[in-house]
A and B are shown apart, each in its own frame.
Chain A
């Protein structure tokens, strides 16, 4: 746990996240714990940065939607689930654990 240590800070220290799936698309909902951190997340969690961080699983484009009223960022990641829950050979075919791949992202 490196909470507060900016040198090793990850998204897990600042935000919570839930993963959902639609076919081969992984949908990641990120919420700032503190409203004051939301602008920082909007600045750092660009679609490009998220796509780069998740490149081992996400093969398609990443689209970002902002929902400021909930201090939320919604990432729609295409071609992320090895073909989707019904035909993927992956262990976590739903991508339920994808939320924690994103939360492992370093935030400097």
Chain B
């Protein structure tokens, strides 16, 4: 791959449950070199650890098989390669699952599993959490600790010719930066280029959020054909400049405004966006229209990476109990308020963390900024954290009992209990985290055509 003058890298998933059909369109018609599937939110690995304790085969992404069945045949036919963090709490299990699907489909391929993010055996539970200053395990028993790996953990797998790279916790932009670093042979100390590639990854990592998703506001910001939103790609050149685009004929829009919103999305300091690879400064980024649904990006600057890696630590945080009931017509709000008083009287002592929302009045912002007209209908929501599943179940039961014991005309009860995983963070010195690549193959040949180093199936390499 080194020696190319342009790399096209696409994003086929921006969160765990993202649309598969949009990824199929991008895979089939996007003329990609690489597709990244970013499917891990902050708490996803911890949730996967909890699932895995009940079922050892459930530690990786539950949609892994569906996504791979849809995309592997297209990757083979169109000649692109895949990077994904769908390994979640079990990258090795996910790697084996990819190989078994490829065998079923009759596709030869080489899978590289990049592990080493799991550092639960290496953290001190008494270390103060970055968020609270309290010990990491102060709020509940720890179930996971995953360091954010950087692009350098993935580059050996890319250089080795993997068709599919499966990993767990890797910083989202690093999933995109790694193929770019390898393609253009960028130096590890070239901070401006690393920042340029990080910008590309940051813009792509939420998939549809740069191409018209999470944007429309009818009358002010209209977006056409959102039902068939096109997922984005970026054409990157060796100097680090990129152009964001999408497949012709797909829905959505790529404009200065959509790209601008994603540029600053979840960035706590635009002058210091910290990843495992670099500290990027986005304050001088330049965006320019480069045709219909194409925006050129560049101008990120970089400083040397930090000496530590961030670690996301998951702990058991009990259960969330919820119940909802609707009131409508004359006096709807008064009846919902009465229902809330009844619920507080019955549960408030047992579950002091009780929350009562009037949906349709002020449940989302805690106020309605004076928009206080009488609502035609109100949905009451009761929610509480509880230490046990039994107590959490009581929340929904008490709401359900309002059918026969509460105010007049209550209908449409829904109830739910959710096990909760809390997340706190700490830092580890880089030396304490050692990524490793394991190779898994259906046979001796894959499809990428890239230069391969020798390797045998299932042999670990440093």
Q: Do the beta carbons of A27 and B267 come within 8 Å of each other?
A: yes
Q: How big is chain B's contact interface, by range? A: 35 or more
Q: Do the beta carbons of A76 and B260 come within 8 Å of each other?
A: no
Given the known interface contacts A24-B131, A67-B283, A69-B285, the answer about A90 and B264 at a Cβ–Cβ threshold of 8 Å is no
Q: Is the interface of A mostly helix, strand, loop or mixed?
A: mixed
Total A-B pairs in contact (CB under 8 Å)? Answer: 105
Q: How big is chain A's contact interface, by range? A: 35 or more
Q: Do the beta carbons of B355 and A89 come within 8 Å of each other?
A: yes
**A97 and B369 alpha carbons, distance in the complex (Å):** 14
By a CB distance below 8 angstroms, the chain A residues around B357 are 91
Proximity string of chain B (243-264) to chain A, C-beta cutoff 8 Å, 1 when within and 0 when not: 0000000000000010011111
A10, chain B: closest CB distance, angstroms: 9
Q: Which of A12, A25, A31, A101 contacts B260 (CB 8 A)?
A: A31
Q: Do the beta carbons of A76 and B366 come within 8 Å of each other?
A: no
Given the known interface contacts A16-B217, A31-B257, the answer about A70 and B385 at a Cβ–Cβ threshold of 8 Å is no
**A74 and B268 alpha carbons, distance in the complex (Å):** 8
**Minimal Cβ-Cβ distance residue in A for B272:** A65
The CB with the most chain A CB atoms within 10 A, among B43, B131, B317, is that of B131
Given the known interface contacts A70-B260, A86-B421, the answer about A91 and B353 at a Cβ–Cβ threshold of 8 Å is no
Proximity string of chain A (19-44) to chain B, C-beta cutoff 8 Å, 1 when within and 0 when not: 01111110101010100000000000
Q: Do the beta carbons of A70 and B266 come within 8 Å of each other?
A: no
By a CB distance below 8 angstroms, the chain B residues around A20 are 265-267
Q: Do the beta carbons of A74 and B317 come within 8 Å of each other?
A: no
Q: Which of A72, A86, A98, A104 contacts B369 (CB 8 A)?
A: A104
Q: Which of A22, A25, A69, A74 contacts B284 (CB 8 A)?
A: A69
Q: Is B60 an interface residue (CB 8 A)?
A: no
By a CB distance below 8 angstroms, the chain B residues around A91 are 357, 359, 363-364, 381, 383
**Minimal Cβ-Cβ distance residue in B for A102:** B365
By a CB distance below 8 angstroms, the chain A residues around B222 are none
Proximity string of chain A (79-99) to chain B, C-beta cutoff 8 Å, 1 when within and 0 when not: 000001111011110000110
**Minimal Cβ-Cβ distance residue in A for B299:** A69
Given the known interface contacts A16-B220, A86-B43, the answer about A67 and B264 at a Cβ–Cβ threshold of 8 Å is yes
By a CB distance below 8 angstroms, the chain B residues around A70 are 260, 263-264, 285, 287
Q: Do the beta carbons of A29 and B265 come within 8 Å of each other?
A: yes
By a CB distance below 8 angstroms, the chain A residues around B353 are 89
Q: Do the beta carbons of B268 and A29 come within 8 Å of each other?
A: no
By a CB distance below 8 angstroms, the chain A residues around B364 are 91-92, 97, 101
Q: Which of A33, A69, A89, A104 contacts B283 (CB 8 A)?
A: A69
Given the known interface contacts A89-B320, A101-B365, the answer about A84 and B268 at a Cβ–Cβ threshold of 8 Å is no
B270, chain A: closest CB distance, angstroms: 5
Given the known interface contacts A18-B261, A31-B257, A69-B285, the answer about A86 and B267 at a Cβ–Cβ threshold of 8 Å is no
Q: Do the beta carbons of A67 and B270 come within 8 Å of each other?
A: yes
Q: Is B292 an interface residue (CB 8 A)?
A: no
By a CB distance below 8 angstroms, the chain B residues around A9 are none
Q: Do the beta carbons of B217 and A56 come within 8 Å of each other?
A: no
Q: Do the beta carbons of A16 and B420 come within 8 Å of each other?
A: no
**A72 and B234 alpha carbons, distance in the complex (Å):** 23
Given the known interface contacts A72-B264, A74-B270, A89-B355, the answer about A56 and B257 at a Cβ–Cβ threshold of 8 Å is no
Residues of B in contact with A (beta carbons under 8 Å apart): 42-43, 131, 214-215, 217, 219-221, 257, 260-271, 282-287, 317, 320, 353, 355, 357, 359, 363-367, 369, 381, 383-385, 420-423, 425
What are 8 A-to-B residue pairs whose CB atoms are below 8 Å? A1-B219, A24-B131, A69-B283, A70-B264, A84-B131, A91-B363, A91-B381, A104-B369
Which 9 A-B residue pairings sit nearest by Cβ, starting from the closest? A56-B366, A20-B266, A29-B264, A18-B261, A89-B383, A101-B365, A89-B355, A56-B367, A20-B265
Query: 12 extra interchain contacts, Cβ-Cβ under 8 A, other than A20-B265, A89-B355?
Result: A27-B266, A27-B267, A29-B264, A69-B286, A72-B264, A84-B422, A85-B43, A89-B353, A89-B385, A97-B365, A101-B369, A104-B369
Residues of A in contact with B (beta carbons under 8 Å apart): 1, 12, 16, 18, 20-25, 27, 29, 31, 33, 56-57, 65, 67, 69-70, 72, 74, 76, 84-87, 89-92, 97-98, 101, 104
